Chains A and B, each alone.
Chain A
């Protein structure tokens, strides 16, 4: 974590402002410097799949634009004024105050400001997300914890079959909307009732239902584990932690079976669902097998330089389902040392005893240096970010941006998750290969 970073692939804790914006009709209020908001949404929003400002993002986000005066005299009063006026000016259901480096260092009592509004019954919560504290993925956890502690109320009763779904980090993952929708569809197919707070049409109603759930489902290598544990402590809701983003038939079937078993669903029903999806998936793979097998351009080996969600999810798919082999896999989302072992273990359990060398680093420059020194026996497939466009040229590879920053792509409802998602990934990869010489 303390290393220097060239080619950033995540931003700072305050980047969690985008997680607030991912909840319909929720608005972040930044108690931060004037440039923080613009820089952060620029990197994990606009320059990442062209995700724009949406309902209330971008330059709409209220911000104290903290200046020299507040650094010297403190910014509590300014913050109070901005929150008060935000409630009048913006039409929203939940306001989340997020602090930046400056207010955390000068020690503003933001909790006190938030509590005053809470006492008046206003939907205002706060999280101390000073940028020096960690990554935006860590900040995402801070924000969810703040909402759990300061907003959610215990449920009168549990709703049978209701499952809260926590997974990829909104905006940091350019495919988050499509991904949550795909997971929602899969869970619904099982006969459960998915509850997702992020994305269109969900928002506050979904948030209010969180304490009623029968269990929390976390699909993530590490992000969010803290939150589902917190929900268990607070509301007694058990959780299922599924550590791989399920891309492709092997992992998705495993995922459906795991969830089904945990929820006590009938096995026959799950197998029927899996069989139907596999038939559809393999119809297309059978058709494309000619090009997958017979083009002389086929890459045999791939590298991922991505956050742990996509590095692991894509590696599982390309190895277990498509028959490619892994070169070193680089994981860039600042995974703490204690969480690295579990992720590493997943990279040692592919089909046929295949394992992958894993490197955890946020320093893209060091990754590029290592890859430039690697001897490849065929053209490598590089699944990373737009930083890899140049690298790919240097090592004569094929490149697809799948992780932040994906500034070279427009992403709408695309996802790589599940069965259809895997088909999209195959389309995207092989379209690049075919377009390479034409």
Chain B
């Protein structure tokens, strides 16, 4: 399926990839259904607040160092700029940079704008944003309000482009359009692909490393140097200039399949930059696969093999020890699909039995037309694991955890682990995308898990003293009571 850069808007994942947010079954069943084109989305007749595309698009783009984000929306839609600013400072801390505030301006749409439109306000805000920050690019995100009242943002930007000499990129990420909030990453990357990335002038030894915070950047710089490569961490903390040269890279790699697949495949299809479509580099199998994929792409297979065996030998004793300590523990995983699949495998490498996987959506394929490597890998394994898909519906997770009572709940995405902890289940929040990264990362992560199960006092004390907000009726129901065939 080709990526179309002639349109200013990328179709949402549901329409482009057939992604779903409602499913219950097992990994093998899910993959079979997806392969047989029989996978149907399901909908819930009870639902809880999840997340939306604009959050993903905005938090991602707002951390490009010399770009500005204009949020064409009521003030509340820019609420995540507070979180993004905190996140941004973490990334700056990792790099020993001086702190700055992210550059986000909202048009602050009000009631009269819903009647008369707000294109003048948008024009004024973009001009002011340009004056304040003198940025190298301006991204303009849409919102439910601007979408419903039909603001012609493209025309505003086309007109302003004559007076403002930097790329003005629309980012279509109306929250109501997609239940898969990762559609917002695609919208962000589509804006980068269509408005920022320039055709290559030369080929470089650089590798586009698609990620969030870059906390493992030193390790990655060191590792890639062994193969004569230099990573450019995309897109947060990069400059517009760096992004514009992504087409010149030797390859694109990603820490997360969900995040990286659109830009990776887009660069490959448009500019011939190979995208490494392997497992993600969590744990041993993941790192092996990721490095071998990269090695094959750049012709450094031998160097990669040498590195892999050297690194594995370094951790062999530690791994045996941590596996022994963790074996017998049972875990439930709750994450976005790419992280979810990769962490199921990673936990198994640590000797933990994963008894359920819950992912926030599922992509039957990526933009190259292939199913994600991470789910193919799990489907090919001997053991099948129960799996459900939901847009982070906590009532299902709580019901499930209450029934399964695992030793550990491992999740990514804020506002999830706290509820498991209240049930008395020690929980790990994988906030850093480089947790369990590679060989040493696996050992470090193992120790983190071990610490969590070794002292459970917080979980125990909390669970004894607090009341969950769910009725006894609900906790006695089947977990997927409210999951129904979608009625269109």
Q: A residues within 8 Å of B by Cβ? A: 1-8, 10-15, 27, 30, 32-40, 42-44, 46-48, 52-53, 55-56, 58-71, 81-82, 85-86, 88-92, 100-102, 105-106, 130-136, 362, 365, 369, 386-387, 389-390, 393, 405, 407
B81-112 at interface with A (beta carbon < 8 Å): 81-83, 85-86, 98-101, 103-112
Does B47 have its Cβ within 8 Å of any Cβ on chain A?
yes
Q: Are B470 and A132 touching (Cβ within 8 A)? A: no
Q: Are B415 and A88 touching (Cβ within 8 A)? A: no
Instruction: Find chain B residues with CB under 8 A from A61 CB.
Output: 48-49
CB proximity of A162 to chain B, nearest CB, Å: 28
Does B50 have its Cβ within 8 Å of any Cβ on chain A?
yes
CB proximity of A251 to chain B, nearest CB, Å: 30
Asked, given contacts A71-B148, A132-B74, whether A4 binds B85 with beta carbons under 8 Å apart, the answer is no
Instruction: Find chain B residues with CB under 8 A from A132 CB.
Output: 74, 109-111, 113-114, 145
Q: Are A11 and B79 touching (Cβ within 8 A)? A: yes
Among B124-132, B227-235, B260-268, B303-311, the stretch that binds chain A is B124-132
Which residue of A60, A67, A100, A133 is within 8 Å of B48 (Cβ)?
A60
Instruction: Find chain B residues with CB under 8 A from A362 CB.
Output: 75, 108
What 3 A-B pairs have minimum CB-CB distances, sorted nearest first? Answer: A35-B52, A37-B49, A12-B76
Q: Are B82 and A4 touching (Cβ within 8 A)? A: no
Using CB atoms, name the residue of chain B closest to A75.
B176
Asked, given contacts A60-B419, A89-B395, whether A11 binds B114 with beta carbons under 8 Å apart, the answer is no
Instruction: Find chain B residues with CB under 8 A from A3 CB.
Output: 108
Does B278 have its Cβ within 8 Å of any Cβ on chain A?
no
Which residue of B54, B86, B466 is within 8 Å of A407 (Cβ)?
B86
Instruction: Find chain B residues with CB under 8 A from A387 CB.
Output: 85, 101
Which residue of B79, B86, B121 is within 8 Å of A40 (Cβ)?
B79
Does B55 have its Cβ within 8 Å of any Cβ on chain A?
yes
Which residue of A8, A65, A66, A389 is within 8 Å of B75 (Cβ)?
A8
Number of chain B residues close to chain A: CB under 8 A:
75
B373-425 at interface with A (beta carbon < 8 Å): 391-392, 394-395, 414-416, 418-419
Does B45 have its Cβ within 8 Å of any Cβ on chain A?
yes
Q: Are A6 and B104 touching (Cβ within 8 A)? A: yes
Instruction: Find chain B residues with CB under 8 A from A59 CB.
Output: 48-50, 392, 394, 415-416, 419
Q: Are B49 and A63 touching (Cβ within 8 A)? A: yes
Q: Are A365 and B105 touching (Cβ within 8 A)? A: yes
Does B36 have its Cβ within 8 Å of any Cβ on chain A?
no
Does B51 have its Cβ within 8 Å of any Cβ on chain A?
yes
Q: Are A35 and B394 touching (Cβ within 8 A)? A: no
Q: Are B181 and A389 touching (Cβ within 8 A)? A: no
Which residue of B148, B392, B395, B419 is within 8 Å of A102 (Cβ)?
B148
Which residue of A27, A32, A33, A68 is within 8 Å of B469 (Cβ)?
A27
Q: Are A67 and B177 touching (Cβ within 8 A)? A: yes
A68 and B474 alpha carbons, distance in the complex (Å) = 29
A61 and B109 alpha carbons, distance in the complex (Å) = 25
Instruction: Find chain A residues with CB under 8 A from B466 CB.
Output: 55
B438-488 at interface with A (beta carbon < 8 Å): 466-471, 473-474, 482, 488
Instruction: Find chain A residues with CB under 8 A from B55 CB.
Output: 35, 38-39
Instruction: Find chain B residues with CB under 8 A from A46 CB.
Output: 83, 414
Instruction: Find chain A residues with CB under 8 A from B470 CB.
Output: 89-91
Does B280 have its Cβ within 8 Å of any Cβ on chain A?
no
Instruction: Find chain B residues with CB under 8 A from A389 CB.
Output: 99
Q: Are A91 and B149 touching (Cβ within 8 A)? A: no
- Looking at A33, A42, A68, A387, the one whose CB has the most chain B CB atoms below 10 A away is A33
Q: Are A15 and B76 touching (Cβ within 8 A)? A: yes
A148 and B55 alpha carbons, distance in the complex (Å) = 34
CB proximity of B334 to chain A, nearest CB, Å: 11
CB proximity of A385 to chain B, nearest CB, Å: 9
Contact indicator per residue, chain B 186-225, by CB within 8 Å of chain A (1) or not (0) = 0000000000000000000000000000000000000000
B165-193 at interface with A (beta carbon < 8 Å): 175-179, 181
Instruction: Find chain A residues with CB under 8 A from B81 CB.
Output: 7-8
Using CB atoms, name the residue of chain B closest to A81.
B45
Asked, given contacts A27-B469, A39-B80, A86-B46, whether A5 binds B108 with beta carbons under 8 Å apart, the answer is yes
Does B78 have its Cβ within 8 Å of any Cβ on chain A?
yes
Using CB atoms, name the residue of chain B closest to A37.
B49
Instruction: Find chain B residues with CB under 8 A from A5 CB.
Output: 75, 78, 105-106, 108
Asked, given contacts A53-B415, A131-B77, whether A106 binds B148 with beta carbons under 8 Å apart, the answer is yes
Which residue of B106, B107, B129 is within 8 Å of A8 (Cβ)?
B106
B41-79 at interface with A (beta carbon < 8 Å): 45-55, 74-79
Q: Are A390 and B148 touching (Cβ within 8 A)? A: no
Using CB atoms, name the residue of chain A closest to B392.
A59
Q: Are A47 and B86 touching (Cβ within 8 A)? A: yes
Q: Are B148 and A38 touching (Cβ within 8 A)? A: no
Q: Are A4 and B124 touching (Cβ within 8 A)? A: yes
Asked, given contacts A4-B106, A33-B175, A71-B176, whether A88 binds B391 with beta carbons under 8 Å apart, the answer is no
Q: Are B471 and A407 touching (Cβ within 8 A)? A: no
Instruction: Find chain A residues with CB under 8 A from B178 CB.
Output: 67
CB proximity of A287 to chain B, nearest CB, Å: 35
CB proximity of B239 to chain A, nearest CB, Å: 19
Q: Are B108 and A4 touching (Cβ within 8 A)? A: yes
Instruction: Find chain B residues with CB under 8 A from A106 CB.
Output: 148
* 27 A/B residue pairs, CB under 8 Å, sorted by A: A4-B121, A4-B125, A5-B106, A8-B78, A11-B76, A15-B79, A34-B49, A34-B181, A35-B51, A38-B80, A43-B80, A52-B418, A53-B419, A60-B48, A63-B48, A71-B176, A82-B46, A89-B395, A90-B471, A90-B474, A101-B144, A102-B148, A106-B148, A130-B111, A132-B111, A134-B110, A386-B85
Instruction: Find chain A residues with CB under 8 A from B104 CB.
Output: 6-7
A55 and B418 alpha carbons, distance in the complex (Å) = 11
Which residue of B86, B114, B395 is within 8 Å of A60 (Cβ)?
B395
Asked, given contacts A39-B80, A59-B392, A60-B395, whether A102 binds B144 with beta carbons under 8 Å apart, the answer is yes
Using CB atoms, name the residue of chain B closest to A365.
B132
A55 and B469 alpha carbons, distance in the complex (Å) = 6
A407 and B86 alpha carbons, distance in the complex (Å) = 7
Asked, given contacts A60-B48, A60-B469, whether A42 binds B80 with beta carbons under 8 Å apart, the answer is yes
Which residue of B107, B144, B416, B418 is within 8 Å of A100 (Cβ)?
B144
A101 and B145 alpha carbons, distance in the complex (Å) = 6
Asked, given contacts A52-B418, A89-B474, whether A65 binds B47 with beta carbons under 8 Å apart, the answer is yes
A86 and B45 alpha carbons, distance in the complex (Å) = 10
Instruction: Find chain A residues with CB under 8 A from B83 CB.
Output: 42-43, 46-47, 407
CB proximity of A64 to chain B, nearest CB, Å: 7
CB proximity of B402 to chain A, nearest CB, Å: 13
Instruction: Find chain B residues with CB under 8 A from A81 CB.
Output: 45-46
A407 and B132 alpha carbons, distance in the complex (Å) = 24
Q: Are B79 and A42 touching (Cβ within 8 A)? A: yes
CB proximity of A15 to chain B, nearest CB, Å: 6
A33 and B144 alpha carbons, distance in the complex (Å) = 8
CB proximity of A12 to chain B, nearest CB, Å: 3
CB proximity of B292 to chain A, nearest CB, Å: 38
Using CB atoms, name the residue of chain A closest to B55.
A35
Other 15 A-B pairs with CB < 8 A, given A8-B78, A27-B469, A40-B76: A2-B110, A4-B105, A4-B124, A5-B108, A6-B106, A15-B76, A32-B49, A34-B175, A35-B53, A38-B55, A65-B50, A90-B474, A101-B114, A105-B148, A132-B110
Instruction: Find chain A residues with CB under 8 A from B125 CB.
Output: 4
